[in-house]
Structure 1
């Protein structure tokens, strides 16, 4: 079943040429899917398209797109539907982060992070929804461990991930009789460039990224877990490096969790 579930299916991936998005593209390509990759990095996107076509002989549509721009998203999704005839899976993966205290974070940083992480998913899902309903497809949303464990100095990032859960949990309820599956995925620390490209409070790029405080997962392993979850049409997939005991602690003893665990998750030492 896993080998044939996505044969010739149309899979759209935002942020599709780097990190987890790139790994997802490779995984679904190996399963015989036809791909539409949306990314803001035009040259890298085209190079990846050529690589996929030459090495895996997969049909790929590469579309430069800033997901924070709703018009670009509508045009890109419309192009996908026109080219392939419809969409079977939409993976909202594009994301950016920051590392700055709330009081030192300019409004433009909040707006940019919400624009990509939250509105990007909204902008792509709306024009794709009719096609997904027609094909009884899937919406996959790449969230974060911060959906249940807020990270210090990531207020905009944390807010964007919480917003995703509010939006897509509601959409799941509205689509429960449509045949469309909505899967929310919460990875932990993963070997990608998202931390290397994190924003400062003034919107500039942080030159040095702090080391991850926990074991870092390989993007390919995360992609395979997401693929297997899609095969089973899971509703939620928690892949966090933080084990179930920490998540239980967060739920039952939030103050203890905030004092002991949140600083470690955030990559800083607690002074308490």
Structure 2
């Protein structure tokens, strides 16, 4: 309970040990939430009782972890599906195993966590936030497995929004542009080169700040960064022009 007797809201954040996850933990904690961070056990900081080890691609583990969260906190007000991995390269650079792994983490992991948290979110009339990307609404060159997974997760949560609205549960989809200190890769690039980006990047804290603001304002969709906002509009108004511009910049 808070000093005023009101229950302390609880935020559960997946991928909590990564760059964006760490900032989400700080932002929500500073905003008065009790935060619970989920990540692989090998990634977690030592001596931090705010974190729980959880492989979100293991459904049984996810269900057990959310049962533990409820036994500790008694409620979940916000779930942030932040965990994700990428895979950089051409379509033929990665076999089905890499495509499957990227889909398991980015899409099926979000499905498993949302299903596990949903009874608690219904009880609090809470909100689920899912981290997509510019790659979730536009074709981004050089990472087809990631684009496919992010399109899938965007489509799913856009479809869930009206379904869950009847229970008072909000759905926010977040689309950052390229983020500094980006995602872990499912496989190293065959040529050993760094990922390509286009336009100004945003920081993990930019993303975390935008997520917290979206939760406070009950926003359905958030475009983080100037390039994300520009891409959203150009992709719809001039799709062929968007593809030409993106292809030219990412192939530099």
Task: Flag whether TM exceeds 0.5 (same fold).
Answer: yes
Q: Is the 8 A contact 2:128 2:170 kept in 1?
A: yes
| Aligned pair partner of 1:229 in 211, 214, 223 | 214
Distance in 2 between the 1:185 and 1:253 partners? 22
Structure 1 residues 107 and 190, CA gap change in structure 2 (3 angstroms): same
77-86 or 132-141, larger mean C-alpha shift: 77-86
SS at match of 2:218: coil
SS at match of 1:261: helix
2:81 paired residue number? 92
Taking the aligned partners of 2:62 and 2:85, their CA distance within structure 1 comes to: 17
Q: Deviations over 1:171-204 (max 9, x none)?
A: 111111211110001011112241xx3234xx77
| Residue in 2 that maps onto 1:259 | 244
Structure 1: 5+ residue stretches without partners: 51-59
- Contact 2:101 2:186 survives alignment (8 Å): no
Q: Deviations over 1:138-169 (max 9, x none)?
A: 10001001122221121111111111122111
Q: Distance in 1 between matches of 2:59 and 2:99?
A: 17
Specify the alignment match of 1:182 in structure 2.
171
Distance 2:242 2:101 in 1: 29
Separation in 2, partners of 1:36, 1:26: 11
The total of aligned residue pairs comes to 248
In the TM superposition, what whole-angstrom CA distance separates every residue of 1:61-113 from its partner, at most 9, and x where no partner exists? 31111111111111111111111112110000000001121123111101100
**Aligned twin of 2:158:** 169
CA contact (8 A) 1:191 1:217 kept: yes
Is 1:191 matched up with 2:177?
no
Which residue of the partner structure matches residue 251 of structure 2? 268
Q: Does 1:242 align with 2:227?
A: yes
The residue that corresponds to 1:121 in the other structure is 110
Report if the CA contact (8 A) 1:229-1:237 is conserved: yes
The CA RMSD over aligned residues, in Å, is: 2.2
Question: What is aligned with 2:13?
Answer: 13
> 1:209: which partner in 2?
194
Q: Any idea what the Cα deviations from partners look like across 1:28-63, whole Å, max 9, x if unmatched?
A: 0111211111101x254233x63xxxxxxxxx5311
- Is 2:45 the counterpart of 1:46? yes
| Cross-structure match for 1:102 | 91
TM-score by length of 1: 0.84
User: What is the rounded CA distance, in whole Å, between the counterparts of 1:215 and 1:268 in structure 2?
Assistant: 16
Report the 3-state secondary structure (helix = DSSP H, G, I; strand = E; otherwise coil) of the residue aligned with 1:68: coil
For 1:81 and 1:204, the matched residues in 2 are separated by 40
Report the CA distance between 1:253 and its aligned residue.
Answer: 2.0
Q: 1:80 to 1:205 in 2, by over 3 A?
A: farther
Does residue 135 of the first structure (1) align with residue 120 of the second (2)? no
CA drift of 1:243 comes to 5.4
Report whether the alignment pairs 1:72 with 2:72.
no
State the secondary structure of the residue aligned to 2:159: helix
**Residue pair 1:93, 1:142 contacting (<8 A) in 2 also:** yes
Structure 1 distance, partners of 2:192, 2:186, is 9
